[in-house]
Structure formats: structure tokens, C-alpha cells
Amino acid sequence: MLRTYIALKGETIKSVLITGDFLEGSNRISRIEARLKWMLLDREEIETAIRAEMQLEDSELTAEDITDAVWMAAQRGLAANRYTYKGSCYYPKKENTISITN
């Protein structure tokens, strides 16, 4: 089983968490998660980044397995939540804010 959680800001990956019941060194999965952080949501780019990490060692998982899981999580996230580019990813723009200038 492979479970993937993804946080997006528009079409940019903010973070990815990959978990499951596979026997995989945590360093490799951590490196994949780090590589995907702040990457544009582009399937080819995602697969290239994952393949670069996966070719370093043998694994029971394939680059396609992880790419599919990340892509499916991203597509579900986009479908469930309408995204916006307003505000930053950490401090969304609020409509009722007061601006004080000197």
C-alpha cells in the first residue's frame, strides 16, 4: 500500500508526505519528498525528480508507482479545492484587513 498526502498552492507543490507498508529506507523517501517541495505541478518534472532518486538504489517500489500516487493525490486535491494565487501560501490574503500607513 502506498499513501500520499500533498499540499498545493495553486499549481505549486508545497509539501508531499509518502507513507505505506513498503520496506523502504526513510532517507530515500525523505529525499523524494524534499525534491518535490516547491516544484511546479508537472507530471514529467515530477517523474524525472523521482526517477533521479530511485535509480540510486534497488527498491520494491518503482518510480511509476510513486509518480502515479503523487499525481493522483494532486489531481484529487485540485478537484476538491478551488485554488487561488491571492496572498501567500502562509498568510492568505484576508478581505477584511486594515492597513495602517504613516
The label of the residue with cell 523521482 reads 50
CA count, 13 A, side-chain hemisphere, 51 = 7
Q: Say whether pLDDT at 15 is over 60.
A: yes
Q: Is the dihedral of CA 36, 38, 41, 42 positive or negative?
A: negative
Interval 16-55: pLDDT, tens: 999 988 766 668 899 999 999 999 999 999 999 999 998 8
Q: pTM above 0.85?
A: no
First to last CA, the chain: 57
Q: What pLDDT score was predicted for residue 20?
A: 87
pLDDT in tens, 60-87: 889 999 999 999 999 998 888 765 555 5
- What domains can you pick out in the chain, each with its CATH number? 2-80 (3.30.390.50)
